[in-house]
Chains A and B, each alone.
Chain A
Amino acid sequence: MSDAYAHLHDAEQRRQNRKNAVPGRQVIIKIKRCDGPGKPSRWESFKVKTEAGSNVISCLKSIAANPVTTDGKQSTPVVWDSGCLEEVCGACTMVINGRVRQSCSCLIDEYAPREGDTLTLEPMSKFPVIRDLWVDRERMFHALKRVQAWVPIDGTYNLGAGPKESPEQQQTRYDLSECMTCGCCLEACPQFNLEEDEQAWDTAFIGAQAISQARLFNEHETGKRLKGERLDTLMGAGGVSDCGNAQNCVKVCPKGIPLTESIAAVGRSTTIHAVTRFFRGK
Chain B
Amino acid sequence: MTEQRVIVVGGGLAGLAAAVRVAEAGVPVDLVSMVPVKRSHSVCAQGGINACNEVARQQGYSEYQHFDETIFGGDFLADQGPVLEMANWAPRIIDLLDRMGVPFNRTAEGFRDLRLFGGSLFKRTHFSGATTGQQLLYALDEQARRYEAEGKIKKYEFWEFLWPVTEGEGDDKRCVGMVAQDMRTMQIRAFRGAAVVMATGGNGLVFGKSTNSVICNGGAAARCYQAGAHYGNAEMIQVHPTAIPGADKCRLMSESARGEGGRVWVPKQKGDTRRPKDIPESERYYLLEERYPDYGNLVPRDIATREIFDICVNEGMGVDGENQVYLDLTHRDPDYLTRKLGGIMEIYEKFVGEDPRFNPMKIFPAVHYSMGGMWTTYTAGAYNPDSPLPAHKPGNAIPVSSDPGQGLTIGAPNNMMTNITGLYAFGEVNFAYHGATRLGANALLSCIFDGLCNGQSVVNYVRDEAGAVDDVASPVYDSVVKQEQDKHDALVSSSSGGSGDNSFNPYAIAKEMGDEMNAASTVVKSGPRLGQCMNKLSELRERYAKVELGDAAAWTNQSLSFSRAVGDMLIMAEAVAKGGLLREESRGSHYRTDFQDRDDDKFWKTSLAKYNPDTGSTDMEFVEVRKGLVQSRPRTYGKTAPAKSEPKQTAAAS
Contacts and interface: CB of A to CB of B under 8 A. Distances in A.
Contacts of A6: none
B353 A177 contact: no
Contacts of B353: 15, 18, 107
Interface in B64-118: 92, 95-96, 98-101, 103-111
Nearest to A181: B38
A167 interface: yes
Interface string B42-58: 01100000000000000
A8 interface: no
Given A18-B353, A53-B247, A131 B556 contact: yes
A88 B35 CA distance: 14
A242 to B, nearest CB: 23
Interface string A59-76: 001001111000000001
B101 A222 contact: yes
Nearest to A136: B184
Contacts of A144: 142, 145
A181 B128 CA distance: 19
Given A15-B353, A89-B43, A167 B99 contact: no
A155 interface: yes
Interface stretch (A119-127, A145-153, A191-199, A271-279): A145-153
Residue of B110, B148, B215, B452 with highest tally of chain A CB at under 10 A:
B110
B214 A134 contact: no
Nearest to B149: A145
A130 interface: yes
A52 interface: yes
A243 interface: no
Given A67-B550, A178-B134, A165 B106 contact: yes
Interface string B334-357: 000001000100010011010000
A52 B99 CA distance: 45
B95 A36 contact: no
A281 interface: no
Contacts of A159: 95-96, 99
Residue with the greatest number of chain B CB neighbours at <10 A, chosen from A67, A155, A177:
A177
A164 interface: yes
A52 B100 contact: no
Contact of B559 (A77, A178, A220, A223): A77
Given A54-B247, A85-B251, A180-B134, A162 B44 contact: no
A85 B205 CA distance: 13
Contacts of A35: 553, 555
Contact of A222 (B99, B135, B213, B249): B99
A166 interface: yes
Contacts of B101: 150-151, 162, 173, 217, 220, 222-223
Contacts of B184: 130-131
Nearest to A152: B146
Contacts of A77: 550-551, 558-559
B594 interface: no
A152 B149 CA distance: 13
A85 B99 contact: no
Nearest to A104: B248
Interface in B224-260: 245-249, 251-252
B143 A156 contact: yes
B24 interface: yes
Interface in A36-71: 36, 51-55, 57-58, 61, 64-67
A83 B21 contact: no
A107 B349 CA distance: 12
Given A53-B247, A150-B143, A89 B39 contact: yes
Contact of A156 (B39, B96, B108): B96
Contacts of A58: 246-248
B103 A153 contact: no
B158 to A, nearest CB: 9
Contact of A151 (B99, B148, B247, B558): B99
B138 interface: yes
B530 interface: no
Given A104-B248, A156-B21, A222-B101, A151 B129 contact: no
Interface in A212-252: 217, 220, 222-223
Contacts, number: 191
A65 B505 contact: yes
B612 to A, nearest CB: 32
Interface residues of A, number: 70
Interface of A is mostly: loop
B291 interface: no
B558 A79 contact: yes
B190 to A, nearest CB: 24
A35 to B, nearest CB: 7
Interface residues of B, number: 69
B618 interface: no
Contacts of A53: 245-248, 351
Interface string A84-110: 111111110000000000001101000
Given A76-B551, A84-B44, A130-B556, A153 B99 contact: yes
B96 A150 contact: no
A83 B39 contact: yes
Contact of B110 (A88, A152, A164): A164
Nearest to B17: A156
A6 to B, nearest CB: 20
A210 to B, nearest CB: 12
A161 B99 contact: yes
A51 B511 CA distance: 16
B20 interface: yes
Contact of A84 (B41, B105, B555, B559): B41
A2 interface: no
B36 interface: yes
B555 A174 contact: no
B145 A149 contact: yes
Contacts of A18: 353
A82 interface: yes
A220 B97 CA distance: 13
Residue in B20, B21, B103 whose Cβ sees the most chain A Cβ within 10 Å: B103
A141 B99 contact: no
A88 B343 contact: yes
Contacts of B125: none
A252 to B, nearest CB: 15
8 contacts: A57-B249, A85-B251, A86-B252, A88-B131, A107-B353, A166-B110, A173-B103, A181-B36
Given A90-B39, A151-B100, 4 more contacts: A83-B215, A131-B555, A167-B106, A174-B129
Q: Across chains A and B, which 8 residue pairs bring their CB atoms closest together, nearest first?
A: A162-B98, A150-B142, A65-B507, A131-B556, A58-B247, A151-B101, A164-B110, A162-B99
